[in-house]
Chains A and B, each alone.
Chain A
Amino acid sequence: MQSSAPTDDSADVALAALGDRRAFERLYRTHVNRVFSVCTRMCGSRVRGEELTQDVFVRAWEKLPQFRGESQFSTWIHRVAVNIVLTDRKNEGRARRRMVEDESETGETPTQRASVMPMHGDRMDITAAMEKLPPGARQIFVLHDIEGYKHEEIAEMCGITAGGSKAQLHRARLLLREALKR
């Protein structure tokens, strides 16, 4: 997983777990960019990424009293974010009553397509190319190649096999290569 600078959140985590909203706001300020990044990259839309980021922090607030400190808060909230995005995708899938598999769809809404992130050089290219990946392949690419999860972890989170995760990842890399060569 991409490692951010280690922060000592323990005091704010303890206070926030007791209901201190200012302590929770400090946690928000510390971690919002990382949470927003994973949400946005996994769902392929900045607009939706902002909505999901809010959901993540609301969920974290609700679940914080159960956080036992067995991992870093940053790791914990990152996992909350991944789960929120995956659940959102499942719900979205149900709502649309999709009958086709990820492989044959892009899963993009007009809003998502319109929200290409303004970046520069290769990064702009790969970011734009990632948005055009099939959702399943994009999520696994983000989780593995950007966020650093192992295939076994991804398999558990996504409800697939580790082999399926590897296959999706390889497919995503090949698709990105093709997109970047154009």
Chain B
Amino acid sequence: MITENPMTCSELDDLLAGYFEEDLDAAGRARVEQHASTCLRCQSLIRDIDDVRATAASLPDLSPSRDLWKNIDARIQPEVVSIGVSHGRGISRRWLAAAAALLIVASSGVTYFATSRMVGNAPAVAAGGSAPRDIRLGGATVEAPAAEVAVEPGPDQTERRVASENLNPPQRPGGEAQAAARGTTLTVSRPSVAPSASEIELSNEIRRLQTVLEQRKGQLDPATVKVVEDNLALIDRAVSQARAALSADPASGFLNDRMDDALQKKLELLRTVAMLPSTT
């Protein structure tokens, strides 16, 4: 009986890649396997390559020799706060200019107030009868009535401020100065900046989403809620800084853009949170 074994080791070598990649048809595979079953050299070759493949597939993940995060953190740009004082990156020139302008406006108001008191006009008592308090501007402390000093709102006041602007009609130009001249009150505040239609729309949407967030807090992971709240506080700070700067330079396209950016970021964050899956 004649046994057909036409395949040589060299031929097997040529077919081996196709064998492992399963590119051979059934007849081709059968020929390779038949040859290997009778050839120690080719049997060993196939077994060794199988071992290499199995070892490679089971290699565990490696770990860096050091924590790489610090370097990465230093290289990535802060995205949330795009105006004013950023984390460790100093203060932009434009923001400094805006802040300086704000300081001038506030200082002028305080000076006017002090002067008007010295010339013996009626006592400067706020309409609400609040006691005077200190305001701090650039490290200097100036006494002023409390109720109407509005230099820079805190983060939690930002949206209320936007809301009140939405509801109240624009103040008359010069009204504050007239009131001060009458000696009945003093307002060291930014000039009235009418919010844009888009700002009003954003603010309304933000308020709605903040209500959703409050309702969903119990359903979310506490760590996630903490991150969200920290981010909201950060964005609120950016909003209030932009608003304060806008009071000094209402026509600044840059500041208006930053204000819109900050409100948009807040909106996006709240929308994302509203869609997060519940932990329960």
Contacts from A to B (Cβ < 8 Å): 2, 4, 10-11, 14-15, 18-25, 28-29, 32-34, 36-37, 40-41, 46, 49-50, 53-54, 57-58, 61-62, 117, 122-123, 126-127, 141, 145-146, 148, 151, 166-167, 169-170, 173-174, 176-177, 180-181
Contacts and interface: CB of A to CB of B under 8 A. Distances in A.
B80 interface: yes
Contact of B80 (A20, A33, A146): A20
Interface stretch (B24-32, B154-162, B207-215, B220-228): B220-228
Interface stretch (B15-23, B35-43, B133-141, B196-204): B15-23
Contact of B56 (A25, A33, A141): A141
Contact of A20 (B49, B227, B276): B227
A54 B68 contact: yes
A147 to B, nearest CB: 10
Q: Which of A19, A28, A32, A117 has the most CB of B within 10 A?
A: A19
Interface of B: 16-18, 20-21, 23, 45, 48-49, 52-53, 55-57, 59-66, 68-69, 71-73, 75-76, 78-80, 221, 224, 227-228, 230-231, 265, 268-269, 272, 276-277
Given A58-B75, A170-B16, A15 B52 contact: no
A173 B49 CA distance: 6
Nearest to B272: A14
A167 B17 contact: yes
B76 A123 contact: no
B64 A170 contact: no
Nearest to A170: B17
A161 B68 CA distance: 35
Most buried by A among B16, B55, B62, B276: B62
A50 B62 contact: no
Contacts of B16: 170
A145 B57 contact: yes
18 contacts: A2-B57, A11-B221, A11-B277, A15-B227, A15-B231, A18-B272, A19-B78, A20-B227, A20-B231, A25-B69, A28-B68, A36-B64, A36-B68, A37-B59, A62-B76, A166-B17, A177-B45, A180-B48
